[in-house]
């Protein structure tokens, strides 16, 4: 059985290859804006035609789909963008840029109609350089050549800073297949991310959770990232590094340095790159913590009970927004979901309105007067509760009761 998985590796391009990578990122940006231009032009033409009394079925069609956008690009790029053929750039990048733009249009309409979950998505806007450098290849056009070299169409063979033996071995014996690749630049460094269809049976079996592993309840919070209560009564706490909070002083200093530099100067470019490096370090520290934590839980607990948080609503609280964003609750739950599926454990999510913190684990009374500032509270039955431990224990109990009822 195959599953979808990503594999990211950092590149070590030469100066010439860096320039080629930058040109392809610019090409992707140009094509995305070309697609948006054509759609907006068609919409404006339709509005004008309606004023002339043209019937709906005779109005100018709007090129919403990727094939329609690709046809327009192929028809016009020779005259409008002659540098594309002159510089020998990869034809796969415009193809994927059209697909990305078509997907953005679909997400907009699905969001308006209610088919797409989550917050409303706005109409796609113009892509600018400040939005970042990235481009995509379809299928396995970009693929590893050896453990330390990958081939990127239009760029050539690029060395990597990391070993890819894990991936190349699986591609060679048919256990993995590249179905797409994204190349991205951050803080002057380039990465290639492969989207794979992979058979993980050997890995998942070797790392499967033990049948006698404990079940647990996990309560997440700002002060203590996660309080874990096992079914044998063991209580443990997981503390997050809070990388953004730790780097705020450095970020402010780097931001001021950018503001002091003359726009367009080489010193400003250097200051911007330094600021990007600080942001990259923050993101890497958070990602490292979340991956290690979720992997440890998925491989050591046979069942994990968690709460369902409205993270978007929590971030709307201006006093807590930065702290909550720094912790990455949404990514924590997302990783738990797919990693428990990998290693044979299970994750159970309580209803969003389940009163895990307010519910007394002894008598079942709900303390409606409990506030966020109350870290301990005493129930009328006499039990004294630690807020986080009580919540984790209640989540574990709720999961066990539901499973017994089923």
- Give the residue numbers annotated as catalytic, written as ranges: 219, 307, 388
Beta-ladder partners of 144: 150
- Helix ranges (DSSP H) in 181-222: 201-206
Beta strands in 211-360 (DSSP E): 215-220, 226-230, 235-238, 303-306, 346-349
What region does 380 belong to: left with phi over 0, alpha with psi -120 to 50, or beta?
A: alpha
Rounded CA-CA distance 132/127 in Å is 9
Report strand pairing: 189-199 vs 215-220: unpaired
Q: DSSP 3-state assignment of 226?
A: strand
Distance CA 373, CA 388 (A): 12
The DSSP letter of residue 174 is T
Show the beta-strand stretches assigned E in 119-209.
Answer: 133-138, 143-146, 149-152, 156-159, 176-186, 189-199
CB 1 within 8 A of CB 201: yes
- Give the pairing type, strands 133-138 and 176-186: antiparallel
Contact (Cβ atoms closer than 8 angstroms) between residue 333 and residue 371: no
């Amino acid at each position: 059985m195959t599953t979808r998985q990503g594999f990211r590796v950092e590149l070590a391009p030469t100066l010439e290859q860096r320039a080629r990578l930058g040109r392809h990122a610019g090409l992707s940006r140009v094509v995305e804006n070309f697609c948006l231009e054509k759609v907006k032009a068609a919409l404006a033409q339709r509005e004008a035609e309606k004023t002339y009394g043209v019937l709906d079925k005779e109005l100018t069609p709007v090129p919403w789909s990727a094939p329609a956008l690709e046809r327009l690009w192929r028809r016009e790029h020779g005259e409008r963008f002659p540098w594309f053929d002159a510089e020998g750039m990869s034809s796969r990048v415009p193809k994927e840029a059209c697909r990305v733009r078509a997907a953005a249009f679909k997400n907009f309409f699905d969001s308006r109609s209610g088919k797409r979950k989550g917050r409303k998505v706005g109409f796609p806007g113009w892509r600018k350089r400040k939005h970042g450098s990235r481009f995509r290849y379809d299928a396995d056009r970009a693929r590893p050549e050896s453990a330390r070299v990958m081939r990127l169409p239009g760029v050539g063979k690029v060395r990597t800073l990391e070993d890819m033996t894990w991936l190349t071995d699986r591609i060679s014996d048919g256990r993995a297949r590249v179905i797409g690749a994204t190349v991205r630049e951050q803080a002057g460094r380039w990465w290639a991310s492969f989207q794979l269809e992979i058979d993980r049976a050997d890995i998942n079996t070797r790392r499967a959770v033990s049948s006698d592993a404990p079940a647990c309840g996990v309560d997440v919070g700002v002060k203590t990232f996660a309080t874990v209560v096992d079914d044998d009564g063991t209580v443990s706490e997981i503390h997050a590094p809070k990388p953004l909070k730790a780097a705020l002083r450095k970020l402010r200093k780097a931001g001021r340095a950018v503001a002091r530099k003359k726009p367009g100067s080489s010193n400003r470019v250097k200051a911007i790159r330094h600021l990007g490096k600080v942001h990259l370090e923050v993101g890497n520290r958070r990602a490292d913590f979340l991956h290690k934590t979720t992997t440890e839980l998925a491989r050591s607990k046979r069942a994990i009970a968690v709460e369902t948080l409205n993270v978007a609503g929590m971030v709307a609280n201006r006093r807590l927004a930065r702290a909550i964003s720094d912790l990455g609750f949404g990514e924590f739950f997302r990783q738990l979901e797919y990693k428990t599926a990998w290693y044979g454990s299970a994750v159970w999510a309580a209803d969003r309105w389940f009163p895990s913190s307010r519910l007394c684990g002894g008598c079942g009374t709900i303390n409606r007067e409990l506030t966020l500032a109350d870290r301990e509270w005493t129930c009328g039955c006499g039990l004294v509760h630690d807020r986080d431990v009580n919540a984790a224990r209640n989540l574990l109990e709720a999961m066990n009761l539901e499973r017994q009822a089923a």
